[in-house]
Chain A
Amino acid sequence: MISTKNIAFSYGKGTSFNFPDIVAQKGSTLLITGGSGKGKTTLLHLLGGLLKPQSGEINIDNTNIAAMPDGRLDNFRGKNIGFVLQQAYFVESLTVLENVVLASWLGTGRQATEKAKALLVQLGLQDQLNKLPSRLSIGQQQRVSIARALINDPKLLLADEPTSSLDDENALTVADMLDRLARQFGTALVIVTHDQRLKDRFLNQINLS
């Protein structure tokens, strides 16, 4: 689970944020909405340890990552936090399977090849395992990045605008998929989005304003 307490962050002059406290339990989903420029991405990066808050606490399963030194944070992130980004990025020279295996190695030091295969198969990518990521459709790429985010059984899964580039039907499919996987993997899921279509899908919501 994840919980925050009084996080404040500033990009320097002018743009500073005081975020409301959030909580997301193991296996449940929290939707964070808000208009453009309200700090959704900023908050997500704070939760994932890509940015450091000026004050406040970010507790992931009782570990305050706000107080963690950089090197350990990289480690912690690789092992315990999965990211699904708005745009899917890959190591272009590695195949789909290798990209997922790489994430397991970076996070845990082991190459979980079988598990990666199983996960990709579960997400309907059995025919794409040995292709280069650039050969996949946008939707397929997104599923690969979901598989990659889940490969280490993370405690926290963070998704930034996971549906904004998808059509209505696919947007809901992906939302369902994430919700289901979060439950299956027992991970806390935080989705930030301005996508109105998701507002009715999740009960647990916070609006940034």
Chain B
Amino acid sequence: MITKIAWKNIWFKPLNTLLSIILLTASVAIITLLILLQEQFEKKFNSNVEGIDLVMGAQGSPLQLILSAVYQVDAPTGNISYTEAKTWMDNPFVETAIPLAFGDNYNGFKIVGTTPAYLEHYGAKMAQGKIFRENFEVVVGSAVAEKMQLKIGDEFFGSHGDSAEGEVHDTHAYTVTGIAAKTGKVVDNLILCTIPSVWAIHDHGHDHEGENAHNHEHAEGEAHDHNHEAHAHEGSDAHDDHHNHAEAHTHDREHDHDHDHDHEAEISEAGKEITAVLLKMKNKPALLSWQYMIPMNTKMQAASPGKEINRLFSLFGIGLQALQYLAYGIMLISGISIFIALFNTLKERKYEFALLRVNGASRTELLSLVLIESLILCVTGFVFGTIVGRIGLVLISGSSEEEFKMSFNPFTFVWDKEGYLFLLTIAVGIIAALIPAIKAYSLNISKTLANA
């Protein structure tokens, strides 16, 4: 009954109520969104990085290397020589080494040349079919298969680079031989094939994605001669002459491969390039020393994913923190708005309170009436906020899915943090109602009624 009166009372002043609820909803929504984002973001990042001690790739930003090689979100730092990488991969300190060669894309889904160890590493079992063995056989991730409606035996052409608008390499069709089971990790959004497939498509070792002047120099070799000839008759047209070191290297990632290099026959490893290698070390001290040794002795670098991701999180952290403060600010304001609403009506409501007492209500019942009114607002605000926050997550998930192939699940609950948020909301409600409630509690009925 007290709850019913409280309920009727708060809707008796709909504007006050609406304002308080909107403010509460806004703050709870922002905080919920942040909690979910942070949680799922970190989980995604950490689950993908599990079991990878070092990432070896071209020199440049280590963070960029990690983002591109592990998470497939950034452009790669460049390419590295396969033969050089191989000497490190075969080192006895290494437990597993998974080479990656970035190739084309199919409707925005990256086609990555690698070894079956990559699938194994992410625990991706074959849902259908079998692992790629021959060149141009591909295994598609579960999300790719679902979105592109790919089945075993389907064939498709890749487009160059990492955007769907790239030039179509229509000489080699890929054949789907396997579909990987869902893992919730990056594999789901990748198309995997053998490394030689990537080489074959790309001009035999001239995959220039993300190439920079540095890593190019050491890569010059026989393969260049071939290319040189191939380009020679075309003069200096749109596609840059990447081996022309004397000139400024203006060529970029969109480097064209406009001519056919249909060399399916043999692909030798000599002079070939790959993009990165994921390393799991047997020897943990080497994990540290390699981060210094590799850049000193080669044109490569070895970056620790854990370290870089921590760095990234702490960068993110500042932004998230600012948003969090904003949300707490709004929550403070909503608390104040509840307080003002309750306090303002106290004057008119003191007769109502006196009346309730005359009719037999106790002091505590009045106290709880005021508290319940405030708590109804807070719980309503919390429920709406939780829902709105998740709607926000769905929207963000939609755009992050498009851009980074990273989606968020709005139906997970982070019980502890959201529980704290609930307690915080309740606390705001209680604090806001405290003074009005105590006033109601200590109301002098006789005086109130006599001075009417």
Contact = CB atoms under 8 A, between A and B. Distances in A.
A93 B450 contact: no
A86 B360 contact: no
B355 interface: yes
B449 interface: yes
A89 to B, nearest CB: 4
Interface in B438-452: 445-446, 449-450, 452
A45 B450 CA distance: 9
Interface stretch (B8-16, B76-84, B319-327): B8-16
Interface string A66-91: 00001100110111000101110111
A91 B352 contact: yes
Interface string A93-127: 11000100011011100010000000000000000
Contact of B1 (A48, A51, A86, A105): A105
B358 interface: yes
Nearest to A71: B362
Given A51-B446, A93-B11, A77 B360 contact: yes
A59 interface: no
Contacts of B450: 41-42, 45
Contact of B358 (A42, A70, A83): A83
B361 A50 contact: no
B356 interface: yes
B5 interface: yes
A91 B359 CA distance: 11
Given A87-B452, A105-B1, A45 B352 contact: no
B361 A74 contact: yes
Chain B contact surface mostly: helix
B449 A106 contact: no
A94 B8 contact: yes
A92 interface: yes
A143 interface: no
Contact of A94 (B5, B354, B357): B5
A151 B413 CA distance: 50
Interface residues of A, number: 32
Given A45-B450, A50-B449, A89-B351, A103 B12 contact: no
A194 interface: no
Contacts of A103: 359-360
Interface residues of B, number: 24
B449 A102 contact: no
A107 B360 contact: yes
Contacts of B1: 102, 105-106, 111
A92 B13 CA distance: 11
Which of B360, B450, B452 counts the most chain A CB atoms within 10 A?
A: B360
A51 B352 CA distance: 18
Contacts of A50: 357-358, 445-446, 449
A148 B359 contact: yes
Contact of A89 (B5, B355, B360, B362): B355
B449 A45 contact: yes
Contacts of B446: 45, 50-51
Interface in B1-31: 1, 5, 8-9, 11-12
Interface in A164-186: none
Contacts of A91: 5, 8-9, 352, 355-356
A148 B358 CA distance: 11
Interface string B318-361: 00000000000000000000000000000000011011111111
Contacts of A102: 1, 5, 359
Nearest to B364: A71
A87 B355 CA distance: 11
Closest 8 CB pairs of A and B: A78-B360, A93-B12, A93-B8, A106-B360, A89-B355, A50-B446, A74-B362, A45-B446
6 contacts: A45-B446, A50-B358, A85-B358, A91-B5, A91-B8, A106-B365
Interface of A: 41-42, 45, 48, 50-51, 70-71, 74-75, 77-79, 83, 85-87, 89-94, 98, 102-103, 105-107, 111, 148, 160
Given A91-B9, A93-B11, 5 more contacts: A45-B450, A85-B452, A90-B352, A92-B352, A94-B5
